[in-house]
């Protein structure tokens, strides 16, 4: 996924009006660089794992809910290391928890689930501090948001000096983007909508 951009070369060329193919490889590389730059700025990635991945979370306090990384879809398994021996011998059934935000995967822009909440009818009352919880799922976003795709295209155009918004190109990608007021405005708008804010 590190080599996957949030927009294709063809999408970029369609927006910028480019038709020549001699720079396609460079455009592809810049689209990837901007995509990873956005990942860092927003604290999340907008692709979806191709196959389920297991990640481990350790609650710090007694809690009925557990913050997790973005879940593109419901997890395959939620297991708890109740014996604290690395065995993950207790597996929650789907009736034991619900995923929050409720209905995140519905609507015009499907979003990920970010919290596993124990239900009132669960056999478990809490996630216990220091108890490892293994969540196996496809992480990321259900689909790349259109705003992220368009921002990737426009920021790449600014980086490549192929946009009226572009001012100048500097060696460092971050410095180039930060030198453009228009680029910073795009970043601020994305931050309001997509940055991870957790307390």
Helix (H, G, I), strand (E, B) or coil at 101: coil
Structure tokens of 159? Answer: 């980086």
Which has the minimum average pLDDT: 79-93, 113-127, 163-177?
163-177
The domain ranges of the chain are 9-46+144-194, 53-137
Quote the mean pLDDT of the chain.
89
User: What integer is the mean pLDDT of 92-105?
Assistant: 95
Query: Is the pLDDT higher at 172 or at 80?
Result: 80
- 77 band by pLDDT with thresholds 50, 70 and 90: very high
Report the C-alpha gap between 153 and 159 in whole angstroms: 10
- 170 band by pLDDT with thresholds 50, 70 and 90: very low
The per-residue pLDDT for range 6-37, each reduced to its tens digit, is 999 999 999 999 888 999 999 999 999 999 99
In the chain, the N- to C-terminal Cα span, in Å, equals: 28
Beta sheet of 77-80, edge-to-edge order: 53-57, 133-137, 77-80, 90-91
The per-residue pLDDT for range 108-127, each reduced to its tens digit, is 899 999 999 999 999 889 99
């Amino acid at each position: 996924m590190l080599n996957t951009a949030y927009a294709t070369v063809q999408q970029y060329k369609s927006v910028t009006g480019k038709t020549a193919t001699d720079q396609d490889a460079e455009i592809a590389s810049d689209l990837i660089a901007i995509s990873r730059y956005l990942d860092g700025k927003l604290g999340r990635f907008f692709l979806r794992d191709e196959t389920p991945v297991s990640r481990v979370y350790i609650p710090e306090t007694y809690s009925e809910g557990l913050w997790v990384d973005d879940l593109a879809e419901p997890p395959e398994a939620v297991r708890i290391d109740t014996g604290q021996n690395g065995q993950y011998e207790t597996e929650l059934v789907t009736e034991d928890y619900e995923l929050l935000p409720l209905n995140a995967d519905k609507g015009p822009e499907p979003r990920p689930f970010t919290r596993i909440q124990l239900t009132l009818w669960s056999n478990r009352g809490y996630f216990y501090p220091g108890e490892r919880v293994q969540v196996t799922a496809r992480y990321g976003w259900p689909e790349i948001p259109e705003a992220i795709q368009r921002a990737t295209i426009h920021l790449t155009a600014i980086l490549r000096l192929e946009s009226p918004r572009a001012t100048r190109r500097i060696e460092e990608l971050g410095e180039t983007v930060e030198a453009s007021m228009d680029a910073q405005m795009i970043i601020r708008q994305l931050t309001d909508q997509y940055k991870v804010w957790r307390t």
